[in-house]
Amino acid sequence: MKRRSLLAVSVVLALSTTLAACGSGGGSTASVDGIDAATAVSAADFGGIEKLVEAAELEGELNVIALPEDWANYGAVITGFEEKYDIEVNSANPNASSAEEIQAAVNQKGQDTAPDVFDLGAAVALTNTDKFAPYKVETWDSIPEANKHPEGLWVNNYTGIMSVGYDSSNVPEPKDLEGLLGEDYKGAVALNGDPTQAGAAFAAMGTISELAGGSVADFGPGIDWMLKLKDAGNFLTVDPTPATIASGETPVVFDWSFNNAAATAGNPDFKATILPGAAYVSFYNEAINADAPHPAAARLWQEWIFSDEVQLLFMEGNSVPVRVDALKESGTVDEALLQSTTFGTTSADWVSPSEAETKAANTLLGERWSELTQ
């Protein structure tokens, strides 16, 4: 699909440009017309998008972390950024969890290898807002209020529908939670990561809890069900990857729809379904590291992520972009693709946790998840 161009740039003041190396840790930051990129809260602080681009290109690099190329189409997102701007993207530890993203920022603070930006599950994002820099992108007004921090410390970027992927050559299509406790699924059912650290696994526990009689705030029934799965010998503790799915090592995987859809590339027998009941949705969160070694590039990346162009790239990667309603209004959404991406569900079918519900569920997970790992 032909890519759309980035949103039109603002009028730029005719000012001279200077480059200065700043001693923010081990990295070098670019100052255009004396603007401190690390304190900018919008493109207007630079004098417009063109000046932000200029500052970011002078920095020349952007550090990202935990962005697998086959996750929500991030390969195309990263390549598009490098092609559009003269900026090299350094992608570290693509398979890291959300918690590991934050730990990397802590461990590498003051170094030029530290992450500039984060892509985080809700539970981790909401407990680490002190590490984020406020920033409002040019498309801010078209992002629903419920999907952004009022100061721009974090902004939802995309979501999937929590689904169940299954190797149709080895196991029958799952129809409900109770069926997964049966003999057909011995040692077969995995989550994508540890739910106390990984956003995908946390969301899996959200949907399991909803279907088991709990809620997005009360994971108790979901943990109880997982204990039944463990006692039945059906809980598989292997962390699924495209390789384990291709080999058949992880035949049933609770994961985002975009991940399960991508897994068919390595295993054409791998299919995805959603279980009857509420469809769990939890947006991921884009945030800027307050100690970013490349603060201008980090802010330009934020503008890139929330442009029409990248929001459509997310959809091409079988994820639902946060600005989907704005894209619908502009007539740029492929309705057939949207139906496929959402399994035919709409926002009326979705359950999504609030900030308070996410924190409550995360607290209970912290108290009880060890029961599954003992």
Q: What is the pLDDT of residue 30?
A: 59
Q: What is the pLDDT of residue 77?
A: 98
Distance CA 277, CA 110 (A): 47
Q: Which residues pair with 351 in a beta bridge?
A: 280
Give the residue extent of every domain in the chain: 37-119+292-340, 162-280+346-373
> Per residue in 223-243, pLDDT tens?
999 999 999 999 999 999 999
In percent, how much of the chain has pLDDT > 90?
81
Mean pLDDT of 323-341: 90
pTM: 0.80
Eight-class DSSP state of 97? -
Mean pLDDT of 17-22: 35
Q: What is the pLDDT of residue 2?
A: 19
156: number of Cβ within 10 Å: 23
Beta strands 285-289; 117-120: pairing state: antiparallel
Q: Which residues pair with 231 in a beta bridge?
A: none
Class (C level, CATH) for 162-280+346-373: alpha beta
- The structure tokens listed for 246 are 């291709």
Sorted by sequence, the CB contacts under 8 Å of residue 4 that are 6+ apart come out as 308, 309, 312, 332
